[in-house]
Amino acid sequence: MLGLTILSIFILIIITIIVLEVRNEREYQESRQKKREKPEKKQEQTFPPDPVPSPQVKTAEPTPEQKPIQKEKKLPHCTYPQFSHERLIDMGLSNEEAKEFVQELIPQLETQIPLIEEVLAIPDFHQMERLTHSIKGSATNLGTGGISDLLVECNTYLKTGTDFDIANAYFGCLKHYTQELKEQYA
């Protein structure tokens, strides 16, 4: 009888945990959906066009205080140092073994680039973050500079960023540094 009661309590606890997890996941998905929809809902406020001034009336140039402030986008510069596998050599690998490790990274990058390109077209920043995260680990384990530094910076941006132009700039850098890596380790 005591065993049945303990089993019932245990099952009740498991069911409660499952219900709480499902509810938390639902709330998380709803908050992500709201975050995604938020930029789309933003609409610029439009005003009727200003009447055209008559030729006799001169309009004064707006003073710097009156001019609207336009925030400039800061696109990534993609000026990372050349990729270095010194870390692998410091770990005790030979130069040939280090090159072999990097040459295994290149196909991973080439596989992920088309996938990232697909989600960039949507754009799905969460999925882009997941895809860059998967190759960031491989790249940073192998060394520093170039593609590793780029992937760290890109992945960090994609965790919270939602600007298509910036994501697209990172993607262009990713293709550039992948090509540079291929040439470096050809």
Statement to judge: residues 30 and 110 lie in one domain: no
pTM comes to 0.59
Statement to judge: residues 93 and 30 lie in one domain: no
Statement to judge: residues 92 and 157 lie in one domain: yes
Indicate the number of domains in the chain: 2
Note whether residue 161 is domain-resident.
yes
Statement to judge: residues 101 and 21 lie in one domain: no
Note whether residue 71 is domain-resident.
no
| Structural domain of 130 | 86-184
Statement to judge: residues 95 and 177 lie in one domain: yes
Per-residue pLDDT tens digits for 68-122: 555 567 887 778 888 777 777 888 888 888 888 888 989 999 999 999 999 999 9
Instruction: Give the per-residue SS3 of 47-93.
Output: CCCCCCCCCCCCCCCCCCCCCCCCCCCCCCCCCCCCCECHHHHHCCC
Note whether residue 66 is domain-resident.
no
Note whether residue 43 is domain-resident.
no
CATH of the domain at 156: 1.20.120.160
Single-letter code of the amino acid located at 11 = I
Is there a contact between 146 and 177 (Cβ–Cβ < 8 Å)?
A: yes
Is there a contact between 167 and 123 (Cβ–Cβ < 8 Å)?
A: yes
What distance in Å separates the CA atoms of residue 82 and residue 181, rounded to the nearest whole number?
A: 9
Statement to judge: residues 21 and 90 lie in one domain: no
Statement to judge: residues 29 and 94 lie in one domain: no
Per-residue pLDDT tens digits for 141-168: 877 788 888 999 999 999 998 898 999 9
Is there a contact between 85 and 105 (Cβ–Cβ < 8 Å)?
A: no
Note whether residue 142 is domain-resident.
yes
Per-residue pLDDT tens digits for 2-28: 888 888 898 989 898 888 888 878 887
Burial 119-145 (b: 16+ CB within 10 A, else e): bbeeeebebbbebbeebbebbbebbbb
Return the beta strands (E) in the chain as ranges. none
Statement to judge: residues 113 and 31 lie in one domain: no
∠ CA 83-85-86, nearest 5°, is: 120
Coil, helix or strand at residue 144:
strand
Note whether residue 19 is domain-resident.
yes
Statement to judge: residues 28 and 95 lie in one domain: no
Note whether residue 90 is domain-resident.
yes
Per-residue pLDDT tens digits for 127-142: 999 999 989 988 888 7
Note whether residue 99 is domain-resident.
yes
